[in-house]
Amino acid sequence: MITDKISNLPLYESVIPGAGRIAKAFTASEPGSAQFEVREKSYEQKEDAKRRYEVHFHTIDLMIARDGAEVIHICPMERLAPAEELPGGADGMKMEGPVQGSAVMLEKGCFCAIFPGEAHMVGGKTADNTGSISKWVVKVPCTEDFAL
């Protein structure tokens, strides 16, 4: 996992393929120019009981906050139990387990890159227990070097 300011995203080109292009696309608000699948998401922060972990095997989830904030929990997938496949044949699976691992704040102006094998649970409440987030989730395919 990597978290940093969006302005520094191009510095991670060696571990996040296309990082510079993605940063330019985000700054211009042109998801199509990222040349990867970009999912624009907005949602309210959730109670922990309504959150679930998921893990991917062949993609990096690059989350870039447009507005608002959320807490993301990240832990090794070995600490969790497999639950079900992701819908639509997406890469990865949902995982079951209690909230654990590292808590990372994703807020406006920042990104979080979650790599294959890192289980992550999004949508957590911030310290003020209120709010929402609007973000891009860029699905970056991994090269052979990253595959599990």
Q: What local confidence, expressed as pLDDT, does residue 144 receive?
A: 53
Q: What local confidence, expressed as pLDDT, does residue 143 receive?
A: 65
How many angstroms separate the CA atoms of 21 and 10, rounded?
8
Q: What local confidence, expressed as pLDDT, does residue 147 receive?
A: 36
How many angstroms separate the CA atoms of 143 and 100, rounded?
29
- Residue in this structure with the two tokens 């959320």, named with its chain if needed: 70
Q: What local confidence, expressed as pLDDT, does residue 88 receive?
A: 84
> Could you report the per-residue pLDDT of 91-127, keeping only the tens digit for each?
899 999 999 999 999 999 999 999 999 999 999 999 8
Q: What's the CATH class of domain 2-141? A: mainly beta
Q: What local confidence, expressed as pLDDT, does residue 87 receive?
A: 86
Phi first, then psi: give them for residue 32, nearest 5 degrees: -65, -30
Domain boundaries, the chain: 2-141
Q: Please tell me which residue, 146 or 39, carries the higher pLDDT value.
A: 39
Under a CB-based contact definition with an 8 Å cutoff, are residues 20 and 123 in contact?
Answer: no
pTM more than 0.85: yes
